[in-house]
Chain A
Amino acid sequence: MNKHTITLTIQKTGLHTNIQDTGRIGYQEFGVPSGGVMDRTAAATANWLVGNPATTPLIEITLMGPSIRIQGSAQIALTGANLSPQLNKGTIPMYETLTINKEATLSFGKAINGCRTYLAIGGDWQVQEWLGSSSAATTTPSTLTPDSVLQKNSQLKIQPRFFLPKRIYEVNLRPIYSDPAFIKVVPGPEFELFSPYAIASFFSQTYTISNDSNRMGYRLIGKDLKIKLKREVISSGIVPGTIQISNSGQAILLMRDAQTTGGYPRIANVISKDLDTVAQLRPREGIRFELKQKGV
C-alpha cells in the first residue's frame, strides 16, 4: 500500500478545466448558485471506479482537454465525454479503474463524442472549500475557490488511502450520446400561461445549442415562441434544469451555475436524469423536448 501524496501539475489548461463536487447546498437564498458537476451520473461513476465517496471533488474537463502531470502512484478513472484520453501518449480506456505507477502524463486529443469528461483520482483531495464545497465558485472563483480554478502550473495534492482491485463500469450501462438528444421535461411553473401554439412550437421543434452556452445556461437557437402571457411574472427562485422563455420568445436552459432568482416565464423543467444528458451536448448539436409521462 503506497501512502505517498499524489501531486498533479497542470501543464496545459484545455478549454475549461475546473474542480467540482456535488455542489454548494443551502446558500441559494443568499444568491449563491449550487454549482457542482454538470453530469452527476458520470461524476458519481468516476468516483465509484476509484473507491471515492460520491461527494469527493473531481476534475470536470470541457471539450478541449488539459495536459496533466500526475506524480505518485495513483488510481484514476475517466467517464463522460470521449475526448481521446492518453496516458504517456498511449490511448487509455474510459469507465475503468486505471493504476498509475510512480508517474504519468494525462493528455487529450480529438473530441469524439460528448462535452464533459470527469477525471476522478482515488484519495482525499487537499482542496480549499468555500461554504462547504470545493466546486469552483460562479463569481470571482479565483478569489473564493483558488484551488479549484485550474490553470497552467496549478498544482493539486491528493492523499491516497488504498488501492482497489480493478473495477469496470458495465458497457451496456454507459451512455450513448445522440444528436439530436431527446430530453424529457415536466411542465414549468408558468406552463399554463403559454398559448397552445407556443406549447406546440416548443415541443415540435429541434433546437440547436448555441455557442453562447456554458455552466450558467444554454441558449437555444430555434423558432421564437410567440408569447403573450396572461399575467406578469414576478421574480422567483431558479433551480438548474429550468427552461425560461425571454421577452423575444427565445428559450434558455439554465444549468448548475445559473443565477438563483429570475423573472422570465418558465415553460418546463428538465427531469433530473436527463440533465446529465444535456450536460453532454455540444454547441451546434440538437435538442428536442418531450413531456414526461406520469408513472414513467
Chain B
Amino acid sequence: MKSFHPYGEEALLINFEQAIKETIHQQVIALKTAIEAAQLPSVSFLIPAYCSLTVGYNPEELDYETLCVLIKNLETGATPAINNQTRKLTIPVCYDEEFGLDLKELSTDKQLSIQEIIKLHTTTLFRVYMLGFLPGFTYMGKLPESLVCSRKTSPRLRVPALSVGLAGYQTGIYPSEAPGGWQIIGRTPIPIFDTRKEHPFLCQAGDQVQFEAISKKAFYKISKKVEARKFNWKQIGCEGKIK
C-alpha cells in the first residue's frame, strides 16, 4: 500500500493510498508517531499531509536505503485507529455577520439559510489533515457535501486574523492576517498561532476539532481573557504540551 520515493537528496516521501480519507490519514499519523518514538538516527523533520509523509534526514548520517529499511521495520500497530494521543479541541467561533464576511453570499450560492450553514459547521467533527501555507494554518476536513464550495474568484488582499473559512472539502483558520481566497464564515477569539508562547501552535495534524457557535459578547469576553493571559485552555480541550 505504501510507496517510498527519494525526494531530493535530503528527504524521503512515503505515499499512502492517494485519497482524502480519515482511515488513510490515521495511517499517516500512526507512522509519524512511530518514527518520532523510535528516534531514528538522521531524521530531522517530518511533514504529514493528507496521504503522504515527508521525512527529512541527513544523508551524511544515514543513507536513503537504510532509512527506508528502518522505517519499514517499525511497528505501527495493527489498528492505527487506536491512537490514544488524539486530541479533541472545541473551538468557539462567532458567526456574526461582522465576522462571517461571505456568509450571505454562501447562503445564496448553496441555497441554505445562514442558520443551516452554522449548524452544519458546528455539528461536524473535523480532522486536522495538515498545516501549511502559513505558520499554524490548519487544513481540516471534510466538509459535509452541502457545504462544499470553491474559493472566491477574487481573493481578498487581507483576510482578518483568526477568520474561519471554507474551500473545497476543507475548513480552516487563518492564524494571522494574510491574503486569501477561502470563503469566510466567522472568526475565533482563540489564537491558533500565539508567538507569546514557546510552542506557538495550538493544532497539529491528527487533532479532532469541533466548532462551537458563540455570541459576539462571548467572543469579546474570551478575547480579553486571552489577551490578559487569563484564559483557561482546558476549556477547549487543550491539555498538556504538543511536543
Residues of A that sit less than 8 Å from B by CB = 25-32, 34, 130, 139-140, 143-144, 186, 188-189, 231, 234-242, 259-262, 269-272
Contact = CB atoms under 8 A, between A and B. Distances in A.
A272 B47 contact: no
Interface residues of B, number: 40
Per DSSP, chain A at the interface is loop
Contacts of A271: 8-9
Contact of B45 (A26, A186, A188, A236): A26
A186 B205 contact: no
A262 B47 CA distance: 12
A269 B7 contact: yes
Contact of B47 (A28, A188, A270): A28
Contacts of B6: 186
A25 B44 contact: yes
A239 B131 contact: no
B38 interface: no
Contacts of A238: 47, 54
Given A25-B56, A29-B130, 12 more contacts: A28-B56, A30-B136, A31-B137, A139-B178, A235-B132, A237-B52, A238-B54, A239-B10, A242-B7, A242-B8, A272-B10, A272-B59
B7 A189 contact: yes
B135 A31 contact: yes
B7 A29 contact: no
A219 B5 CA distance: 25
A234 B20 contact: yes
A149 B51 CA distance: 37
A28 B45 contact: yes
B130 A235 contact: yes
Given A26-B45, A261-B47, A272 B9 contact: yes
B15 interface: yes
A31 B135 CA distance: 4
A139 B200 CA distance: 14
Given A189-B13, A241-B8, A270-B8, A29 B46 contact: yes
Interface string B171-206: 000001010000000000000000100000100110
Contacts of A143: 195
A237 B49 contact: yes
B133 A261 contact: yes
Given A28-B56, A31-B131, A234 B8 contact: no
Contacts of B135: 27, 30-32, 139
Most buried by B among A235, A242, A269: A235
A255 B136 CA distance: 20
Contact of B49 (A26, A186, A231, A236): A236
B139 interface: yes
B131 A30 contact: yes
B133 A29 contact: no
Contacts of B19: 234
Contacts of A261: 47, 49, 130-133, 139
Interface string B49-63: 111111010010000
Interface string B1-34: 0000111111101010011100000000000000
Contacts of A231: 18
